[in-house]
Amino acid sequence: MPHRWSDSEAKGKDEMGLLVYQSRLVGADTSLVVWGGGNTSIKTTKKDFRGREVDAMTVKGSGSDLKTIEPKHFPSLDLEDVLVLFDRDAMSDDEMVAYLAQCMIDPKSPRPSIETLLHAFLPFHSVVHSHADAIVALTNTRNSDELLHEVYGDRAAIVEYLRPGFALSKLVGQRVRENPDVDGVILVNHGLFTWGDTAKEAYLKHLNLVDTAAEYAEEKAKGRTIFSVREGGLLPENERRRLAAGLAPVIRGLVSRSQSMLLRYDDSPDVMEFVNSAEGAALSQVGPATPDHTLQTKIKPLWVESGEFPNLEYLSGHMPRAIDRYVSYYQGWYQANTDGQHPMLDPHPRVILVKGVGMWSTGKDAKAALIAGDIYHHTISVIKSAQAVGHYASLSDKDAYDVEYWPMELYKLTLAASGGELASQVALVTGAAHGIGKAIAERLAAEGAHVVVTDIDVEGAEAVAQGIIGSQGAGRAMAVNMDVTNPEQVADAFGRLRLAYGGLDVLVSNAGIAPVGAIHELSLEDWQHAMDINSTGHFLVAREAVSLMRQQGMGGSLVFVGTKNVPSPGKDFGAYSASKAAEVQMARVLAIENGEYGIRVNVVNPDAVFQGSNLWTAEVKEMRARAHGISIDGLEEFYRKRNLLKRSVTAEDVAEAVLFLAGPRASKTTGAMLPVDAGLKDAFPR
Ligand code: ZN
């Protein structure tokens, strides 16, 4: 593995700077830690609140991530207060957390890591802890004791599996005092601790012990087939992805019965090797690679057989039974191990392996699904190395339960929860690069939605998506090039959405054009163009959305951006008014056809939104000004004055109405038309 320490980069850094530098180096290597795993510390001196210099330990806070960690994520504790605990015989987790809270040098800093005592009881300046794949591969074997002694001899102390907490911390502290010359401690089914007088020494010792494990496994694997991949019967990539896109909403509907989940499809080579292997079915059911993974992946994934040639019909029919089987397994496991203190968590699988097709990971948002998937990549890698050196083994059912239902771990999840009325939902907005569509995409995202930003202006769409990712986080938006009049492009956009998020909850059909001209002067081409975009475009997008939503079985919401011209048409605007009227009439029929599936369909009718609009071209402005007998400069003012409230309508006003209709506040509203026109009596819906 790459040794990333650079003396020139480390030069000039103080103790805290070196701790952050070292932590990020550990975090940068996903074969050491993934997503919040692992922790680091230093023992130093700090000024307490009265300015007295005290011995202190600075340790990673709970819930932060080593690869992006900053000084503010490290709380410091008064070491003298902490170290007296070493003389105790036992301490509950609650007692420990309450006690450590009293030891904080700054009470406002984040809660210290659940492995704080372990760091404290190791009497060295710098301590590094990881869940290195290579180490865990050795400890997660049936003959791990023998194996670890063979590989490490006297270089490392070995400590049997115990859930992190006071008892494990004390045991490790004692073991190291008895063996002061070891370079590190290996925790069975968990990971590695190393230390040093400097951050660099602790880091290098860590990597050396990991390298030893990796080299041993590589040597053992040489010339052998660990996963026997079947020959023949494998789908080519494009067919596999088409099948996955077809299947994704079925799975999403089934795993969202307790709470709405997002899905992430993955068919990278290591995943395909595992799901196509003869051994995957059994090995996937052994258990997690390290305890803290269970929080994201549960004790085991769902494994789904798919016959000789995987196909959509078979898998769609088979999937409900497979998910039900997992849920009853999980309920049984929960019942067998619970002490009644914690209600059962969502019993649906977080990782789903489908033979011949690939892997889905699930989560309450795209990031959580990504984390579960990333973790499972490492699980596969650990299983593979463990099989090379022996037989993969994992935690007992009871130990796995004690971790998934451990309040200390559940606390981390509360830090990660994201809210908003569209949390855990997926929305697709057409014509979203500018104006109303852009405002809608941003408003839905601000309420928690994952937004597929589509437009023919793909650069504009990309800018909107990047803006959303910047404010809401990774995975919260994607840009897709989509001409709503092109059935292939529409199907392709929905295919990408199915693979990226698993399904769809909200469609906002917004893309439109505004051709101007009296009907007797209009070319057939202009008329047809208006119909293509303003009618057929909505049809093509709605057709895909409704098929998907029915397949998914979670209801859904379609919002069409109509116009004030539907109830109240104007002269020289015939192609626009007629094509938009067709859109709105189609929306009403969609409401009638899809009510029984819980799919709501509504329309907003804006009037005269100029801001950022592509609709109001210079030509449209000129023609509308002429139609109303006014100057172009006076146009906005004209529209403002003609409404009852005498106010201009903005893109944000329309976005707010769309959000209302899209989300749960309008759960009893379908087939409705909501004007956003500041009051036009001719356009009152009736
Ligand atoms: Zn750990």
CA 610, 613, 619, 623: dihedral to nearest 10 degrees?
A: -40
Tell me, yes or no, whether 208 and 280 share the same domain: no
Q: Is the pLDDT of residue 117 over 80?
A: yes
Which of 356, 378, 413 terminates a domain? The answer is 413
d(CA 489, CA 482): 6
Q: How far, in Å, is the centroid of ligand 1 from the Cα of 127?
A: 13
Q: What pLDDT score was predicted for residue 202?
A: 97
> What pLDDT band is residue 295 in, cutting at 50, 70 and 90?
confident
In a domain, residue 120? The reply is: yes
Whether residues 52 and 178 fall in one domain = yes
Looking up residue 667, the CATH number of its domain turns out to be 3.40.50.720
d(CA 189, ligand 1 centre) in Å? 10
The whole-angstrom separation of Cα 635 and Cα 618 is: 12
- Are 199 and 245 within one domain? no
Is the residue at 639 inside a domain? no
Q: What are the pLDDT digits (tens) for 8-19?
A: 999 999 999 999
C-alpha 673 – ligand 1 centre gap (Å): 55
Higher-confidence position of 599 and 622: 599
> Is it the case that residue 578 has pLDDT exceeding 60?
yes
* Among 268, 267, 279, residue whose Cα is nearest residue 243: 267
Q: Are 212 and 152 in contact (CB under 8 A)?
A: yes
By the 10 Å C-beta count (0-12 exposed, 13-18 middle, 19+ buried), 679 is classed as middle
Lookup: tokens for 565: 């011209």
What pLDDT does 204 receive?
97
Nearest to 15 by CA among 40, 39, 37: 40
Q: Taking 70 as the threshold, does the pLDDT of residue 416 lie above it?
A: no
Q: How far is the CA of 59 from the centre of ligand 1 (A)?
A: 13
Instruction: Write down which residue in 178, 194, 221 finishes a domain.
Output: 221
**pTM, to two decimals:** 0.92
The predicted structure's pLDDT at residue 406? 85
pLDDT confidence band for 627 (50 / 70 / 90): confident
Average pLDDT, the chain: 93
pLDDT in tens, 437-487: 999 999 999 999 999 999 999 999 999 999 999 999 999 999 999 999 999
Task: Determine the pLDDT at residue 418.
Answer: 63
Neighbours of 90 (CB within 10 A): 9
The token pair at 315 is: 């898998």
Report CA(463)–ligand 1 centroid distance (Å): 39
The pLDDT value given to residue 413: 66
Q: What is the predicted pLDDT for the residue at 309?
A: 81
What pLDDT was estimated at residue 390? 93
The residues that are catalytic are: 576
- Reported confidence tier of residue 433, pLDDT bands at 50, 70, 90: very high
Within this chain, do residues 329 and 292 fall inside the same structural domain, yes or no?
yes
Pair 380, 444 in one domain: no
CATH number, position 263: 3.40.225.10
State in Å: Cα 360 to ligand 1 middle. Answer: 26
Distance 221 CA to ligand 1 centre (A): 27
| 24-40: pLDDT as tens digits | 999 999 999 988 889 99
The dihedral sign for the CA sequence 253, 259, 265, 271:
negative
Mean pLDDT of 514-536: 93
Distance 400 CA to ligand 1 centre (A): 14
Q: Does residue 420 form part of some domain?
A: no
Residue 622 lies inside a defined structural domain of this protein: no
Choose one of 190, 221, 252: the last residue of a domain.
Answer: 221
Ligand 1 center from residue 131 Cα (angstroms): 6
Q: What CA–CA distance (Å, rounded) separates 98 from 27? A: 28
Q: What is the pLDDT of residues 384-412, one digit of tens each?
A: 999 999 999 999 999 999 888 887 767 76
Count of the separate structural domains present in the chain: 3
Domain that holds residue 486: 426-614+649-677
Alpha carbon 132 to its chain centroid, in Å, reads 23
Report yes or no on 630 lying in a domain: no
Residues 247 and 386 in one domain: yes
> Mean per-residue pLDDT for 373-390?
95
Task: Give the alpha-carbon dihedral of 666, 667, 668, 673, to 10 degrees.
Answer: 40
